[in-house]
Structure 1
C-alpha cells in the first residue's frame, strides 16, 4: 500500500498534502484502543477536490481506483481495498473533523473506549446495504466525541454525557 501512495505523491501537484486519516488502522493504530479494520484511511488535501484532473490521473497511475465522487470530496481505494484515500480541498471542514477526532481519541480514554465499543458492535454485522451505512451508524458517537474535543479546545470542559449514546 505504501508504494502507490509514495508514487502518487511524487506526481501530485505541489499543493497536495497527505495525512493518515483514521483513528485506527490495521498496521499502526493512530490511537490506542479502537478496534482496527484492515483498511488504512488517509487524507489528501489538494487545492480543489473538484478539479480531478489535477490529482486523479496520478493516483490512478499509482494503483488507486476512484470510488466516491461528491462535491468537494473524492475517495479512491486500492484494488485490495486495504487503503481508502479521502481527498478534500483546502479549508474543508472535514479536515478539522478528522484531526479533532483522532487527537481527542488519543487523549481521552473514556471516549476512546466508547468509540471502540461502537466499532466492535458494528463489526459484528457482516453485510451493509450501502458503503456509507456503516460510517453513518457511528454518527452519534462521532458527534459526541467531536463535541468533547471542541469543548476542550475552546478551553472548556467536556460534559460527561457518554451514557446517552
Structure 2
C-alpha cells in the first residue's frame, strides 16, 4: 500500500499515549492519531514495536473484526521522524470494565491465555490474537463495546508456540 502525504493537526495533541499523539477533530466527530516519530505502534510478543506493515495490518484486521472505522490518512516526515496519520470515529461513552471486555471477547469465541507477554485472547478458528484488551483501549457506547485500539494480529505459529498458546 502506498501512503499519501499527510499533515499533522495544528498544535500539540490533546493526549499522548504509548503509541499515538491524539487530537479531536474540530467537529468533534473524529479522533486523529499520529504514531510517535519513527515508530509504528506496539505488537504482541518479545519484540514489542511493530513495523509499518504490521501496523497497517493491525488497522485492517481491527476494521474487519470490529468495524471501528479506522482510516489511514497518510504519512508525514521522513526517516526517524516519520509518522503515520490515521483517524477514526470519536466513540463517546465510558471505558468498559475488564469483566465487560471479558464477556465481549468470550461472545466472539476468543479464549483468554495468560502468557509471558501478558494476557492475550486467541481464536483458533481463524488464528486471530488480540492483546492489550484493556478499558483504556475501548469505549462502552450505547451500541455496546467498541474496541478502538486493541492490538490484533494473525501471529506466526512460532510466536504462538513461544507464547504457549495451544
TM-score when normalising by structure 2: 0.31
TM-score when normalising by structure 1: 0.31
Of Structure 1 and Structure 2, the greater helix share is in 1
Of Structure 1 and Structure 2, the greater strand share is in 2
